[in-house]
Amino acid sequence: MKKYLSLVKFAHTLFALPFALVGLVLGLEVQTQSDKPAWLLLLLVVLCMVFARSAAMGFNRYIDRDIDAQNERTRQREIPAGIIAPRHALWFVGLNALLFVLTTWFINPLCFALSPVALLVILGYSYTKRFTALCHLVLGLGLALAPVGAYIAVTASFAWPPIVLGLAVFSWVAGFDIIYALQDEEFDKQHALKSIPAYLGKSRALLVSSLLHMFTAAMLVLFGLLIGGGWLFWVGAGLFLALLVYQHLIVSPTNLSRVNLAFFTTNGIASVLFACFVIGEFFIK
């Protein structure tokens, strides 16, 4: 179990899960009457997040196993290091994808109908680095489904607030993935892999990341206006955006030593803080 949890970096589920919980609570505010209790919807949404992300990350590790074996930074990952056999990783992916679809069936018909679309996006991402530098945007799209999907789980419908929040997640994830990809700029160039840093260079890639995060700020403001956010929301949004600024301050084209701090720690704290403040405001209301 520890090997497979390490394979999919289970702790990184923390990035999108807080936004899924915000989408869930937002849906509960709108759909006051439901055929399922809130605790059951919460359990089903969390299971969907875990199964979907495990399938996506496991598939990414499987598809990239030969590339990872050539990259000094990634050759110790479970598949190239021989800790997990490729066929076992693929079985793990299939199992999680199946469990994801089955879980959506227990939520509502719309979630079940959309589950193959979600899998297409999150699994398809693994191929994008081979043909487009916009791969970071596809990753952002995959995580952006979290708040929208959680809202649909409750209401079985679409609405603008969760879509706007999804757009914020989309640009946030794409922006910080560009920062993370700075580490592999030269490797990507040598192996004909596509990424914004490989295409534009470090300085311009950081500029694109900054622009994406400015878009994130605009979408969070719009989201707050749409839901009539109070002081708790704006404090949470302010802390989230302050941590975005911080990660840009600690990474530069000539100093990548704190990329992991910017990518893992800062973004994990930012998402949890934002969700706590926003959900706290819903409970106060």
* Residues 81/65, Cβ–Cβ less than 8 Å: no
Residues of the chain under the 70 pLDDT cut: 8, 10-12, 32-34
Which residue, 66, 65, 126, 123, is CA-closest to 94? 123
User: How many whole angstroms separate alpha carbon 247 and alpha carbon 244?
Assistant: 5
Nearest to residue 53, comparing CAs of 85, 86, 9? 9
Q: Where are the domains of the chain?
A: 2-284
Q: What pLDDT was estimated at residue 282?
A: 87
Rounded CA separation 208/261 (Å): 20
Structure tokens at 139: 């990753």
- Look at residues 130, 151, 124 and name the one whose alpha carbon lies nearest to residue 56: 124
pLDDT digits (tens, 9 = 90+) for 31-41: 766 688 999 99
Q: What is the pLDDT of residue 1?
A: 77
Radius of gyration of the chain (CA): 19
Name the CATH superfamily housing domain 2-284: UbiA prenyltransferase (1.10.357.140)
Per-residue confidence (pLDDT) for residue 12, from 0 to 100: 66
The pLDDT, as a whole number, for residue 283 is: 86
**Contact between 188 and 198 (Cβ < 8 Å):** yes
Closest CA to 45 of 185, 171, 153: 153
CA distance 195 to 192: 10
**How many residues would you count in the chain?**
285
The pTM for the full model equals 0.95
CA dist 104 and 114 (Å) reads 9
- Token representation of residue 247: 């990660």
- pLDDT attached to residue 193: 97
58-79 pLDDT, tens digit per residue, is: 999 999 999 999 999 999 999 9
pLDDT of residue 259: 87
